[in-house]
């Protein structure tokens, strides 16, 4: 986790074995004036689970990995340090491939941070976010008390399901609902370049992907590929359908015939194997989901947007030009909403990006060489700035799990709710006020502080 020698180091790393170790770590760091950074899977986009510029300790939940699946009542208790991949594996194993859990793509993410920020993925059009499917939790508050849903109350239980990890206390475990999946699902991947009609297909995709039958989730990955004269834009149409190829093809013929999806583009497999496929792990045994070590050690920057109006072909062409203008450009990963996401109220949990949004864009820029960081960050900002007219406005919305400190930060523990609205309303819209109100009740002194933690709100808005 500390690939650069300049990264600030903690006073201690606590790896608790029992809840009482977490309670002691909270109480002692409060007494001795250390900040706490809680780490579950360590995938935070800004490193806020293991970096602080003030004296701090890390509570690393790597030993909190237990997963107890209860097939009879279709739920599971998952400890915060378990990874998404471990959860997928255990549910598939114990339900004999009949059940799953709706959450994200990268199997090494921890459920502590991932569900705490929402958790979007290939099942969201059918079942909503990971956080929409949490029914109880164990949580340790600023006083070191262990609380569950009943003892914490509905306001705090609302806030921890999508309000972004780390603002309220330490999540010990989530109780999640399992969701049914068929024995066979179909995975398809169709890459198209500009020369193969990518612009027109992407334009149509924007119109149809959020309206598809909700058993179909089709995302697009847009990136500049090739060198010099052969440099072009490639749009990969990547989908998982909850059913067989035979069931999928007639649906696609009605909804998106222009893509020309055929049997040769599709593979049938179990749902758990589809999670390997979309994570780029095809060919590995499914047990790789149990391996929590990071496979790549890159630098990266992420930013996000929500698109509410279809971008015209002419405007898409100008966006591609910006992506092709230099030798580096972030990729855009576009994930359609609609379906179940449209039915859940904006205020149901802190994640507010529901009906009215066509798709989410993640700008993702990886690089290897630390000395080139500025150039890669500038390229990411350039594309993000160029996208301004095409994405949501007032506020320009972002997704808290793709944490982005460029949106604004808390300079210290005294940053007020009004000051923090500049970034907070981008992630949470109107829910930011309720989050800040909950914070004022459960952590009024703002002990669980970081550069983008929810500030307490003590007055009138
Ligand atoms: C390669 C990659 C792919 C991704 N794909 C997706 C995706 O498909 N869908 C999606 O929605 N997101 C995705 N994400 C984003 C991911 O959901 C967030 O980075 C998430 O916060 C990771 O959780 P974590 O536990 O691994 O991270 P951590 O770095 O451990 O934690 C993230 C934040 O939550 C806090 N936190 C962690 N655990 C706890 C806890 N137990 N109690 C209280 N606070 C806690 C941390 O302090 C930190 O602020 C991806 C990230 C990466 C790097």
Q: How far apart are CA 282 and CA 271, in angstroms?
A: 13
Residue 165, domain extent: 1-183+271-294
Q: Which DSSP symbol is given to 331? A: E
Evaluate whether residue 97 is within a structural domain. yes
Cα of 229 from ligand 1 centre, angstroms:
39
Regarding the beta carbon of 120 and ligand 1, being less than 6 Å apart is answered yes
What percent of the chain clears pLDDT 70, i.e. is strictly above it? 98
Question: Of ligand 1's atoms, which has the minimum distance to the CA of residue 450?
Answer: 49
The strand pairing partners of 69, in sequence order, are 76
pLDDT at res. 382: 97
Shared-domain flag, residues 310 and 361 = yes
Cα of 231 from ligand 1 centre, angstroms:
34
Regarding the beta carbon of 52 and ligand 1, being less than 6 Å apart is answered no
Using a 10 angstrom Cβ sphere, with 0-12 exposed, 13-18 middle and 19 or more buried, the burial of residue 18 is exposed
pLDDT at res. 149: 98
Shared-domain flag, residues 45 and 84 = yes
Q: Is 402 a catalytic residue?
A: yes
The count of C-alpha atoms lying within 13 angstroms of the C-alpha of 178, restricted to the half-sphere facing its C-beta, is: 28
Regarding the beta carbon of 353 and ligand 1, being less than 6 Å apart is answered no
Residue nearest to ligand 1 atom 17, measured at CA: 114
Shared-domain flag, residues 158 and 252 = no
The pLDDT mean for the chain works out to 96
Which domain CATH number covers 230?
Answer: 3.40.462.20
55-60 long-range contacts (CB < 8 A, ≥24 apart) are: 55/11, 56/8, 56/10, 56/11, 57/10, 57/11, 57/12, 57/13, 57/14, 57/25, 57/29, 58/10, 58/12, 58/13, 58/14, 59/14, 59/16, 59/22, 59/25, 59/26, 59/170, 60/13, 60/14, 60/15
Regarding the beta carbon of 81 and ligand 1, being less than 6 Å apart is answered no
Evaluate whether residue 145 is within a structural domain. yes
> Domain boundary at 327, 361, 390, which?
390
The residue ranking higher by pLDDT, 54 or 358, is 358
Regarding the beta carbon of 401 and ligand 1, being less than 6 Å apart is answered yes
Q: What is the ipTM of this complex?
A: 0.99
In the three-class reduction of DSSP (H, G, I as helix; E, B as strand; rest coil), residue 281 is classed as coil
Cα of 227 from ligand 1 centre, angstroms:
34
Evaluate whether residue 412 is within a structural domain. no
| Cα 123–Cα 128–Cα 129 angle in degrees, nearest 5 | 90
Regarding the beta carbon of 124 and ligand 1, being less than 6 Å apart is answered no
User: For residue 272, is pLDDT > 60?
Assistant: yes
Shared-domain flag, residues 171 and 200 = no
Q: Which of these, 160, 179, 65, lies nearest to 121 by C-alpha position? A: 179
pLDDT digits (tens, 9 = 90+) for 363-420: 999 999 989 999 999 999 999 999 999 999 999 999 999 999 999 999 999 999 999 9
> Domain boundary at 341, 356, 390, which?
390
pLDDT at res. 228: 82
User: For residue 36, is pLDDT > 80?
Assistant: yes
Question: Of ligand 1's atoms, which has the minimum distance to the CA of residue 130?
Answer: 11
pLDDT at res. 292: 87
Question: Of ligand 1's atoms, which has the minimum distance to the CA of residue 166?
Answer: 44
pLDDT digits (tens, 9 = 90+) for 137-170: 999 999 999 999 999 999 999 999 999 989 999 9
pLDDT at res. 167: 97
Going 10 to 12 to 18 to 20, the CA torsion angle's sign is: negative
Cα of 45 from ligand 1 centre, angstroms:
8
Q: How far apart are CA 217 and CA 210, in angstroms?
A: 9
Q: What's the gap between Cα 10 and its chain centre?
A: 26
Domain total for the chain? 2
pLDDT digits (tens, 9 = 90+) for 233-257: 999 999 999 999 999 999 999 999 9
pLDDT at res. 122: 98
pLDDT digits (tens, 9 = 90+) for 332-370: 999 999 999 999 999 999 999 999 999 999 999 999 998
Regarding the beta carbon of 109 and ligand 1, being less than 6 Å apart is answered yes
Q: Report residue 297's pLDDT band, with 50, 70 and 90 as the boundaries.
A: confident
Shared-domain flag, residues 134 and 240 = no
Shared-domain flag, residues 41 and 109 = yes
Shared-domain flag, residues 189 and 278 = no
Evaluate whether residue 144 is within a structural domain. yes
Which domain CATH number covers 164?
Answer: 3.30.465.10
Shared-domain flag, residues 221 and 336 = yes
Pocket perturbation via mutation, ligand 1, pick of 7, 40, 361 by most ligand atoms within 8 A of CB: 40
From 359, 384, 402, 427, active-site residue: 402
* CA distances to 98, 112, 275, 276, 291 from 287, in Å: 18, 21, 12, 10, 7
């Amino acid at each position: 986790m500390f690939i650069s020698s300049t990264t600030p180091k903690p006073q201690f790393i606590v790896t608790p074995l029992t809840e009482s170790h977490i309670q002691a770590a909270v109480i002692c760091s409060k007494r001795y004036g250390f900040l706490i950074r809680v780490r579950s899977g360590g995938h935070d986009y800004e490193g806020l689970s293991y970096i602080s510029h003030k004296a701090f300790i890390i509570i690393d939940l790597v030993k909190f990995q237990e997963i107890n699946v209860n097939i009879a009542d279709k739920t599971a208790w998952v400890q915060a340090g378990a990874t998404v991949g471990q959860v997928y594996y255990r549910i598939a194993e114990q339900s004999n491939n009949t059940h799953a859990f709706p959450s994200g793509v990268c199997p090494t993410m921890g459920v502590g941070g991932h569900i705490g920020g929402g958790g979007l993925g290939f099942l969201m059009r059918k079942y909503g976010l990971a956080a929409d499917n949490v029914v109880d939790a164990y949580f340790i508050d600023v006083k070191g008390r262990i609380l569950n849903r009943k003892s914490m109350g509905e306001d705090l239980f609302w806030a921890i399901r999508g309000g972004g990890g780390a603002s309220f206390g330490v999540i010990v475990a989530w109780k999640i609902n399992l969701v049914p999946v068929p024995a066979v699902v179909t995975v398809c991947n169709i890459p198209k370049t500009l020369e193969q009609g990518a612009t027109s297909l992407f334009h149509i995709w924007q119109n149809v992907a959020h309206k598809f039958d909700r058993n179909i989730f089709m995302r697009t990955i847009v990136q500049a590929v090739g060198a010099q004269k052969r440099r072009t834009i490639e749009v990969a149409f990547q989908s998982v359908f909850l059913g067989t190829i035979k069931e999928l093809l007639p649906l696609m013929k009605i909804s998106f015939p222009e893509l020309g999806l055929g049997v040769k583009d599709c593979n049938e497999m179990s749902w758990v194997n589809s999670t390997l496929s979309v994570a780029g792990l095809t060919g590995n045994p499914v047990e790789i989901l149990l391996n929590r070590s990071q496979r790549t050690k890159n630098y990266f920057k992420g930013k996000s947007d929500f698109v509410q109006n279809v971008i015209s072909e002419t405007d898409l062409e100008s966006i591609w030009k910006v992506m092709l203008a230099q030798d580096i450009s972030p990729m855009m990963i576009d994930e359609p909403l609609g379906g179940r996401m449209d039915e859940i109220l904006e205020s149901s949990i802190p994640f507010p990006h529901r009906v009215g949004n066509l798709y989410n864009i993640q700008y993702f820029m990886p690089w290897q060489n630390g000395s080139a960081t500025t150039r890669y960050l500038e390229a990411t900002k350039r594309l993000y700035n160029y996208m301004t007219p095409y994405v949501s406005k007032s506020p320009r919305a972002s997704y808290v799990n793709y944490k982005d400190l460029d949106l604004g930060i808390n300079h210290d523990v005294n940053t007020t709710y009004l000051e923090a609205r500049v970034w907070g309303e981008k992630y949470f819209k109107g829910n930011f006020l309720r989050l800040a109100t909950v914070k004022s009740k459960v952590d009024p002194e703002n002990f669980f502080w970081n550069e983008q933690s929810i500030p307490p709100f003590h007055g009138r808005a």
